Amino acid sequence: SYPSRVKLVDVGPRDGLQNEKQTVPAAVKIELVHRLQAAGLREIEVTSFVSPKWVPQMADNAEVMAGIARQPGVRYSVLTPNLRGFEAAVASRPDEIVVFGAASEAFSQRNINCSIAESIERFAPVVEAARAAGIHVRGAMSCTVGCPYEGEIDPSRVGYLAGLMKGIGVQHVGVADTIGVGTPLKVQRALEATLAHFELDDVSGHFHDTYGQALANTLASLELGVWQFDTSVAGLGGCPYAKGATGNVATEDVVYMLQGMGIDTGIELDALIDAGQYISDFLGRPTQSRVAKALLAK
């Protein structure tokens, strides 16, 4: 049987916009966050405190965090790759920070400029400081089924990374298919390798939809009892260090699927579609959500 309730974390403002070529003003990002929370999202990944030379689009991180009218019951998370990023992030009062590593060595090097082992050394003091400050710590694990540089990734490597994350005190991990190459059984193997180290309630799925597999991979995750997913409104996004990778599965499409299965998300589809339309209009391109397209054409 499937979980009766699912939590979706909209990562659109961060994962969705980080790779955007045109400048998205802080005011637009803030309005997007406001529309997402109005639609019922209870967790929003807002921005990242990374090097502005590496990811210029996230350089307004503090301004965006400061501009959000926080709604009680909504949690706001941010990415922090190192202590420098963590210290900057803390000033903006996030509810959760995200350290991000990879199951593949090559991706770790390209994305955060260090090996997997070095990344864990960098994350350890961040995790310690966050937990001492009462801030929840999530770990994102990239390339858990495939890597743009190394190809297919064996589940044992996912388990290895999950074990390292657990060892430094990370409280929750997201199993990411960064380039969207995964298919349901491979995703289940990656999740199972992770579940050897983390409780079911502390594992989420993060599926990019490059090959159109993300909804199937979400369903395959639900079959294992995984009930938390990162999704992106309007299917925004991609990773700057994973060429050709498209956005996360659209939040609208996941909400529609779950509603049809009688699974509660607390999200109101019409308001969510409005949020997706808002950002798609700003970017000047159609939404990537099939559900939004279908409902808007009615």
> Which of Mg ion, ligand HMG, none interacts with 112 (beta carbon under 5 to 8 A by kind)?
ligand HMG
CB-based contacts of 144, cutoff 8 Å, min separation 6: 103, 153, 158, 175, 176, 177, 178, 182, 190, 194
Q: Tokens for 54?
A: 């590496």
CB-based contacts of 285, cutoff 8 Å, min separation 6: none
Name the residue nearer to ligand HMG (CB basis): 49 or 229. Answer: 49
Name the residue nearer to Mg ion (CB basis): 242 or 269. Answer: 242
Helix (H) or strand (E) holding 103: none
d(C-alpha 106, C-alpha 237), whole Å: 21
d(C-alpha 273, C-alpha 251), whole Å: 9
Token pair 């994305």 is found at 111
Q: Which of residues 75-104 bind ligand HMG (CB under 6 A)?
A: 79, 81-82, 84-85, 100
Name the residue nearer to ligand HMG (CB basis): 83 or 257. Answer: 83
Contacting residue, 30, 39, 68, 140, with ligand HMG by CB under 6 A: 140
Taking each helix axis from N to C terminus, what angle separates 116-132 and 83-90, rounded to the nearest 10 degrees?
30
Asked if 142 is part of the footprint of ligand HMG (rule: CB under 6 A), the reply reads yes
Helix (H) or strand (E) holding 125: helix 116-132
Bridge-partner residues for 146, per DSSP? 152
d(C-alpha 85, C-alpha 90), whole Å: 9
Interaction mask 77-116, Mg ion, x per CB under 5 A: ----------------------------------------
Asked if 204 is part of the footprint of ligand HMG (rule: CB under 6 A), the reply reads no
Asked if 109 is part of the footprint of ligand HMG (rule: CB under 6 A), the reply reads no
Asked if 149 is part of the footprint of ligand HMG (rule: CB under 6 A), the reply reads no
Smallest distance, Mg ion to C-beta of residue 169, A: 23
Asked if 123 is part of the footprint of ligand HMG (rule: CB under 6 A), the reply reads no
239 assigned to active site: yes
Helix (H) or strand (E) holding 214: helix 214-223
Name the residue nearer to Mg ion (CB basis): 162 or 269. Answer: 162
Asked if 111 is part of the footprint of ligand HMG (rule: CB under 6 A), the reply reads yes
Q: In this structure, which amino acid lies at residue 212?
A: G
Question: Which residues are at the interface with ligand HMG (CB under 6 A)?
Answer: 15, 18, 48-51, 53-55, 79, 81-82, 84-85, 100, 111-113, 140, 142, 176, 178, 206, 208, 239, 241
Enumerate the active-site residues.
Answer: 239
Question: Which residues are at the interface with Mg ion (CB under 5 A)?
Answer: 15
